[in-house]
Amino acid sequence: MTGTSVSFGGRLAAAFDAHGRLCVGIDPHAHLLADWGLEASAAGVRAFGLRVVEAAAGRAGIVKPQVAFFERYGSAGYAALEGVIRAARDAGLLVIADAKRGDIGTSVAAYAEAWLTPGSPLEADAMTIAAFQGVGSIAEPMRLAEAAGKGLFVLAATSNPEAAAIQKAVVADGARAGMTVARAIIEDVHAFNQEQPPHPFGTVGLVLGATVALGDYGIDTATAVAPTVPVLAPGFGHQGARVADVHAIFGAFAPGVIVSESRGLLTAGPGGLAEAVARRAEEVRTSHG
């Protein structure tokens, strides 16, 4: 696999510098398609995605297509997603494919190859991934991401309430014994990033919900680590988290936080989306100084 000349961490830092930390979700829910006057089809999600890209370009630096909303239309949906990703990257946007893949061995490696291989039809800049079979199960995607100049965001403390019991559970044995599952994932991610060549941000990031009380998950938010870990933080806008509270919520993780918002922006509709993105991006930029 041939990597890019700039690491994912370097390109993330450039996106932060140029446009701030806002990530615009591309989530073509059925009700939003209807509200936007689009049909519930592959053609509809393609048109939706391209309109979001157009609204985000030059106003935000990052977009996050939710793969499931395209996948439900089968091969035509994937073709639509390929077009949306290509348009976003051509527009200079950093693309995080919200695929949440997770498996073991050659299977999980193949998922990473699909989303992170330069030149792949689905090539994104980063993808979300699950490691609840152990962070060791995603060792190959982590290696592939580093080699290709791509990124991963590993689910650690997600905002859905059903996850809390598992993510707060305590690891029974091994090097992370006594830590919560969420904390153990975070520590394994830190360890991997620290073993790589220096980047402005680590190659492997985390998904930490902005509506989660991280201390309740046994997560240390007081101690900074190097390199700074990128944090994809859903929960802003519609779900209730406030941009002004990023430092209070994330503590030492705040320098790497990507403020992810979907429905709170998309409900502005195709006519109001560009203005909504510009307004929220400025709010995020101002909050982070």
User: How many domains does the chain divide into?
Assistant: 1
Number of H helices, E strands in the chain: 12, 8
Residues 6+ apart with CB under 8 A from 204: 142, 145, 151, 152, 153, 154, 189, 192, 193, 229
In a domain, 276, yes or no: yes
In a domain, 239, yes or no: yes
What distance in Å separates the CA atoms of residue 262 and residue 78, rounded to the nearest whole number?
A: 20
In a domain, 124, yes or no: yes
Three-class DSSP category at 212:
coil
In a domain, 100, yes or no: yes
Residues 6+ apart with CB under 8 A from 65: 25, 26, 49, 81, 84, 85, 88, 95, 97, 98
What distance in Å separates the CA atoms of residue 186 and residue 240, rounded to the nearest whole number?
A: 24
**pLDDT in the model for residue 48:** 98
In a domain, 38, yes or no: yes
Helix pair angle (269-288, 42-56), 10° resolution:
40
**pLDDT in the model for residue 236:** 86
Residues 6+ apart with CB under 8 A from 169: 180, 181
CB atoms within 10 A of CB 89: 16
Closest CA relative to residue 151, chosen from 112, 111, 102, 180: 112
In a domain, 3, yes or no: no
**pLDDT in the model for residue 5:** 67
In a domain, 29, yes or no: yes
Q: How does pLDDT run across 140-191, given as a tens digit for each residue? A: 999 999 999 999 999 999 988 899 999 999 999 999 999 999 999 999 999 9
Asked whether the beta carbons of 241 and 249 are under 8 A apart, the reply is: yes
Alpha-carbon torsion, ordered 154, 70, 21, 243, to 10 deg: -90
Question: Which structural domain range is residue 164 located in?
Answer: 8-288
Active centre residues (catalytic):
100
The distance of Cα 215 from the centroid of its chain, to the nearest Å, equals 22
Tokens at 97, concatenated: 């494919």
In a domain, 173, yes or no: yes
The position carrying tokens 């949906």 is 77
Burial classification of residue 73, based on how many CB atoms lie within 10 Å of its CB (0-12 exposed, 13-18 middle, 19 or more buried): buried
What distance in Å separates the CA atoms of residue 201 and residue 7, rounded to the nearest whole number?
A: 9
Which CATH number is 130's domain given?
3.20.20.70
**pLDDT in the model for residue 2:** 47
**pLDDT in the model for residue 1:** 47
* Residues in the chain with pLDDT values less than 70: 1-5, 289
